[in-house]
Amino acid sequence: MRGLSRGDLRAIDRAALSRDRWTALLRVAVAADGRPADIPVAGSYAVDSGTLRFTPIVPFEPGRSYVVVLDPAAAPGGALAGAQRLTHTVAAPPAPRSDPVRVTGVYPAGPQVPANLLRMYVEFSGPMGTRPGQDYVRLVDGEGRDIPDALLPLDTGLWNGDRTRFTILFDPGRVKRGILPNRTMGRPLRPGGTFSILVARDWPDAHGQPLTAAFEKTYRVGAAREQALSTRVWRVSAPAADTREPLHVAFPFPLDRGLLQRALTVIRIDPGGDGTVAGSVAVDPGETAWRFVPSTAWRAGDYAVSVLPALEDPSGNRIGQAFETRNTDDVEGPPARVLFSIR
């Protein structure tokens, strides 16, 4: 606030006002229906270079209006004597417009998922807000009826770093065999049936805007997958030397899309010391294959695809270790290796 006399400002500054007295003198409050809220915005007050300055503890919200009241009667030591109360409504500039966000995909891509599905991803074209995702996702059966208690009710959103991918966990208590929720209600997905995932349009993005459209996807439900993964049934198609053709690794059934993006590495086997091959990764539609394009042309020689133990299928099965197992002595084994040669 500018325009106060230097003498008044000095008097206010010298008085070393308490927070309550500062607030009585200069009160900033949210405008609710044009009226100030009964509790003022918290912040700090200062007098500097001819200005009376209020700094809120967190920045004002874009687009929101605030009522500012200067009450001379609360000024210390005769400052502002005879002046009138001053009331102003001010507004923070609105947030910059951004393109509305849309759902770019839901994974597994399908069309079929196992009855013991544990995890799905919803991917977006832009960053989303922080409201709990479970409020905007529904699962319905083939008749369009809600499937109750299918998903894990979390209060922490499982997002990636830029909030463009949301992870949905099925309630593991219903997926896992032999524990109470599973025994009393069974698994939420039944083999032979279908179900749909519905993403509501009013899920707010990072700027509070709804999605461009609601999203719906229907799946067939197949038998549960309760076996450990094995790299022995993967098929590696090795490219020719001196090309930048992709290396292609095919799986007999879908693996987890999120984990595939970081769990596989190409290693060049060299007696003088193995080296990681730089390149870019893509997961094929349906998550049944992984492609790797090297940054520079392939050299002839022996290679391996190294697989982190964290790799899972969408039901939580790992290499050498089913999701539900009788013995988990080997908690974190070394990365598995799938050998191939380039000629």
Partner 1 sequence: MYSRTMKSIAGAVAIAGLAVLPAGRTGVTAAVPDEGPALQSVGPMTFGPDGLLFAADTTAATIYALDLGAQGTGGTPGAADVPDIDRKIASMLGSEASAIRVTDLAIHPKTKHAYIGVMRGTGADARPVLLRVDGDGRIEPIAIEKVKYTKVSLPNAPAAGADGRRNPRADSVTDMAFADGTLIVAGLSNEEFASKLRTFAYPFTAADPGTSVEIFHGNHGQLETRAPVYTFIPYTIDRTPHVIASYTCTPLVKFPMNSLKGTKVVGTTIAEFGAGNRPLDMILYKKDGKEFLLMSNNNRGVMKIPTADFGTAPAITAKVTAPTGGIAYETIASMKGVEQMDLLDAQRSIVLARTASGLSLSAVALP
Interaction residues for partner 1, span 43-72 (CB under 8 A): 53-62, 64-66, 68, 70
3-class SS of residue 260: helix
- Residue 179 in contact with partner 1, rule: CB under 8 A: yes
- Decide: 55 and 46 in contact? Cβ < 8 Å: yes
Q: Give the per-residue contact string, 104-133, with partner 1 (x = CB under 8 A; - = no).
A: --------------xx-------x-xxx--
Nearest partner of 229 among 260, 264, 263, 253, judged by Cα: 253
Listed ranges 104-112, 167-175, 216-224, 243-251: which one lies at the site for partner 1 (CB under 8 A)? 167-175
- Residue 206 to residues 98, 99, 124, 125, 191, Cα–Cα distance (Å): 9, 11, 11, 12, 37
Would you list the DSSP string of 180-202?
HHHHHH--SS-TT-EEEEEE-TT
Query: Footprint of partner 1 on residues 10-39 (CB under 8 A)?
Result: 28-30, 32, 37-39
Listed ranges 100-108, 159-167, 217-225, 242-250: which one lies at the site for partner 1 (CB under 8 A)? 159-167
Nearest partner of 242 among 280, 304, 293, 299, judged by Cα: 299
Q: Which residue among 111, 191, 193, 208 contacts partner 1 (CB under 8 A)?
A: 208
Query: Footprint of partner 1 on residues 214-253 (CB under 8 A)?
Result: none
Nearest partner of 193 among 250, 268, 240, 139, judged by Cα: 139
- Residue 287 in contact with partner 1, rule: CB under 8 A: no
Q: How crowded is the C-beta side of 301, counted as CA atoms within 13 Å? A: 15
- Residue 340 in contact with partner 1, rule: CB under 8 A: no
Cβ 314 to partner 1, closest distance in Å?
10
Kindly determine how many residues on this chain lie close enough to bind partner 1 according to the rule CB under 8 A: 111
Q: Which residue among 142, 210, 279, 286 contacts partner 1 (CB under 8 A)?
A: 279
- Bridge-based pairing of strands 279-283 and 289-294 is antiparallel
Q: How crowded is the C-beta side of 17, counted as CA atoms within 13 Å? A: 23
Query: Footprint of partner 1 on residues 290-329 (CB under 8 A)?
Result: 295, 306-308, 310, 312, 316, 323-328
Q: Which one-letter amino acid corresponds to residue 225?
A: R
- Residue 205 in contact with partner 1, rule: CB under 8 A: yes
Listed ranges 101-109, 182-190, 240-248, 296-304: which one lies at the site for partner 1 (CB under 8 A)? 182-190
Spatial distance between the Cα atoms of 292 and 276, rounded to a whole number of angstroms: 12
- Residue 150 to residues 171, 224, 287, 291, 322, Cα–Cα distance (Å): 6, 16, 23, 33, 22
Cβ 241 to partner 1, closest distance in Å?
20
- Residue 180 in contact with partner 1, rule: CB under 8 A: yes
- Residue 153 in contact with partner 1, rule: CB under 8 A: yes
- Residue 143 in contact with partner 1, rule: CB under 8 A: no
